[in-house]
């Protein structure tokens, strides 16, 4: 078993590759600043990885672009969590064929979670001969070398590497946003929920050192970030195996205690080890968002057991009621899976009951998708997709009513919002501290700043308001 929390700096040979890429890019593209495009599928873990790839590309001289058609390097960072996510990747890679034919110097690379599954990586490699480079999540830190080799040898390559339990620090990062940023605190997952592919494609849990996280947060705040989200598949097990006593509640508090005007949030926390201590920290720090994303997945104890989730409905409701009693203005969100193998109508009723009892702000809803290699994929399932889709319809209807009630109750309130983006001409999308979207009139110059708003109207999931 490799050492789990073994931190190393980006190896100097990778720095050398970055420096040597300048000449290679010039030779291949006739410019030291060719255009690179990255499309990211899946969750924030992938977004954070793409920000590292972009950081390395930028350091090598590339210019980042949002326009795939004019790009010299195209990278798809893929997600394996559901079949739908994978299908989109296959479709979108297929569509690159004509682009590669018209521009032979184009380098197409695929990386991310799908590439960690051998059968998928092989299939991609065989089906799409114009894909020049395939690499997995464990070799991100070797990207400069892989890119260099792909360009200098012209040979196609699948590079997967092993989960060696190491964390590489010092990789350059290009953050997508200038005022909202992701900050990974840990990688991997040890939970092995029976439906989920993540532990297989992301490897074992490992935590970044607290001082590294705090330092990075401080530099983000100094750079003007107004909202930082700490990231991990299960932040509640942060620190396991570190030679330090810092656990997630202390880490969260330390980041919140950094001087500056910013909001702090995190995701995701697993209900099996969401502690009162964590909730107390949220309740006691005005900078931490009064928001808990606490995926319950299912409202039937029988299914929760089959899912290997290690909590039951009663325990879930206990944490929720403690959080509601402590955190003012709490917004709860969650993930839910409909149609786990063998889920009966009675099991499903449990899910509806739980949704009613909690009163979530909003839900991320998924129909179960079998993943090759996971235990749940081997279970019998007598229920058809039509049955599951019908249940999903009922669930969405219920949640819509709950969301509408919750937003309606916010009308007339005054609150601080963070202005995020232009929704349309003259209208901006802002977000409350709890994460609810509010449309307010204004212009693009206000994006990235805090403002006081009064909520004047509510429509299902969205609020409308005016700035004060
Ligand atoms: N680590 C996070 C979740 C990461 S995956 C957590 O445990 O909460 C995001 C969500 O995708 C999961 O919460 C789950 O609801 C959903 N999901 C994962 N595997 C799935 C599958 N095979 N089919 C359908 N939904 C799935
Ligand atoms: Fe998947 Fe469960 Fe890990 Fe979340 S905690 S990533 S659902 S195995
Ligand atoms: Fe998808 Fe990988 Fe995240 S499988 S959900 S991108 S960890």
Contact 124, 93 (CB under 8 A): yes
What pLDDT, in 10s, does the model give residues 305-334?
999 999 999 999 999 999 999 999 999 999
Is the CB of 208 within 6 Å of ligand 1?
Answer: no
Mutating to test ligand 3, I would choose from 39, 40, 41, 42 the residue with most ligand atoms within 8 A of its C-beta, which is: 42
What pLDDT, in 10s, does the model give residues 355-367?
999 999 999 999 9
- Where does the pLDDT of residue 460 fall: very low under 50, low under 70, confident under 90, or very high at 90 and above? confident
Q: In Å, how far from its chain's centre is CA 123?
A: 26
Is the CB of 309 within 6 Å of ligand 1?
Answer: no
Any bridge partners for residue 110, and if so which?
A: 76, 134
If you average pLDDT over every residue of the chain, what do you get? Answer: 95
Q: In Å, how far from its chain's centre is CA 156?
A: 29
Q: Ligand 3: which residues within 6 Å by Cβ? A: 42-43, 45-46, 79-81, 113, 197-198, 201-202
Residue nearest ligand 1's atom 13 by CA: 335
**In this structure, what token pair is assigned to residue 386?**
């039509």
Give the mean pLDDT of 153-159.
90
What pLDDT, in 10s, does the model give residues 230-287?
999 999 999 988 988 999 999 999 999 999 999 999 999 999 989 999 999 999 999 9
End-to-end CA distance of the chain: 58
What pLDDT, in 10s, does the model give residues 80-107?
999 998 999 999 999 999 999 999 999 9
Confidence at residue 162, expressed as pLDDT on a 0 to 100 scale: 85
383, with CB counted inside 10 A (0-12, 13-18, 19+), is: middle
Distance CA 448, CA 430 (A): 9
Secondary structure (3-state) at 3 = coil
Distance CA 116, CA 80 (A): 9
DSSP 328: T
Confidence at residue 4, expressed as pLDDT on a 0 to 100 scale: 56
Please report the DSSP string for 157-175 in residue order.
Answer: EEE------EEEE------
Residue nearest ligand 1's atom 8 by CA: 295
- Where does the pLDDT of residue 1 fall: very low under 50, low under 70, confident under 90, or very high at 90 and above? very low
Angle at which helices 345-358 and 313-326 pack, to 10 degrees?
A: 10
Bridging pattern class, strands 227-231 and 180-184: parallel
Mutating to test ligand 3, I would choose from 201, 232, 234, 371 the residue with most ligand atoms within 8 A of its C-beta, which is: 201
Residue 435 predicted with pLDDT over 80: yes
Confidence at residue 5, expressed as pLDDT on a 0 to 100 scale: 59
Secondary structure (3-state) at 264 = strand
Residue 27 predicted with pLDDT over 60: yes
Structural domains in the chain, sorted by start: 6-159 (3.40.50.2300), 173-394 (3.80.30.20), 414-467 (2.40.50.140)
Q: Which ligand is nearest to the CA of 190?
A: 2
Confidence at residue 154, expressed as pLDDT on a 0 to 100 scale: 85
- What is the number of helices (H) and of strands (E) in the chain? 14, 21
Give exposure, 131-151, as e/b (b: 16+ Cβ within 10 Å): bbbbbbbbbbbbbbbbbbbbb
Is the CB of 368 within 6 Å of ligand 1?
Answer: yes
């Amino acid at each position: 078993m490799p050492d789990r929390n073994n931190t190393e700096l980006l190896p100097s040979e990778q720095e050398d590759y970055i420096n040597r890429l300048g000449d290679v890019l010039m030779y291949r593209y006739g410019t030291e600043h060719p255009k690179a495009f990255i499309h990211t599928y899946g969750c924030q873990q992938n977004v954070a990885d793409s920000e590292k790839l972009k950081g390395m590309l930028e350091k090598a001289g590339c210019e980042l672009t949002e326009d795939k058609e004019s790009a010299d390097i195209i990278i798809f960072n893929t997600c394996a969590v559901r079949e739908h996510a994978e299908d989109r990747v296959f479709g979108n890679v297929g569509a690159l064929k004509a682009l590669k034919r018209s521009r032979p110097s184009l380098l197409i690379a695929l990386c991310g979670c799908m590439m960690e599954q051998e059968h998928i990586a092989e299939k991609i490699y065989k089906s799409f001969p114009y894909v020049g480079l395939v690499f997995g999540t464990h070799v991100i830190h070797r990207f400069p070398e892989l890119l260099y080799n792909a360009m200098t040898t012209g040979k196609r390559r699948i590079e997967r590497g092993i989960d060696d339990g190491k964390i590489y620090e010092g990789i350059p990062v290009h953050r997508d946003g200038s005022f909202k940023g992701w900050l990974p605190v840990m990688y991997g997952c040890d939970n092995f929920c029976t439906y989920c592919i993540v532990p297989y494609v992301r490897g074992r849990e490992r935590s970044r050192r607290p001082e590294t996280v705090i330092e990075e947060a401080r530099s983000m705040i100094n750079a003007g970030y107004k909202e930082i989200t700490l990231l991990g598949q299960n932040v509640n097990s942060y620190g396991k195996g570190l030679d330090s006593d810092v656990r997630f509640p202390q880490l969260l508090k330390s980041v919140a205690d950094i001087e500056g005007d910013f909001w702090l949030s995190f995701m995701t926390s697993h209900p099996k080890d969401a502690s009162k201590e964590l909730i107390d920290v949220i309740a006691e720090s005005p900078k931490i968002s009064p928001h808990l994303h606490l995926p319950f997945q299912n409202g039937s104890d029988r299914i929760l057991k089959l899912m290997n989730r290690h909590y039951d409905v009663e325990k879930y409701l206990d944490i929720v009621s403690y959080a509601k009693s402590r955190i003012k203005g709490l917004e709860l969100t969650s993930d839910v899976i409909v149609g786990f193998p063998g889920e009966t109508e009675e099991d499903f009723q449990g899910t509806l009951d739980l949704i009613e009892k909690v009163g979530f702000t909003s839900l991320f809803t998924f129909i179960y998708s079998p993943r090759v290699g996971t235990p749940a994929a081997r279970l019998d399932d007598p229920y058809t997709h039509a049955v599951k889709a019908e249940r999903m319809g009922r669930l969405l209807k219920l949640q819509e009513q709950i969301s509408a009630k919750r937003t309606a109750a916010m009308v007339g309130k005054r609150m601080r919002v963070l202005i995020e983006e232009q929704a349309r001409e003259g209208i901006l999308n802002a977000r409350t501290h709890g994460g609810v979207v509010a449309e307010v009139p204004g212009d693009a110059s206000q994006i990235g700043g805090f403002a006081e708003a009064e909520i004047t109207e509510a429509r299902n999931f969205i609020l409308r308001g005016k700035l004060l």
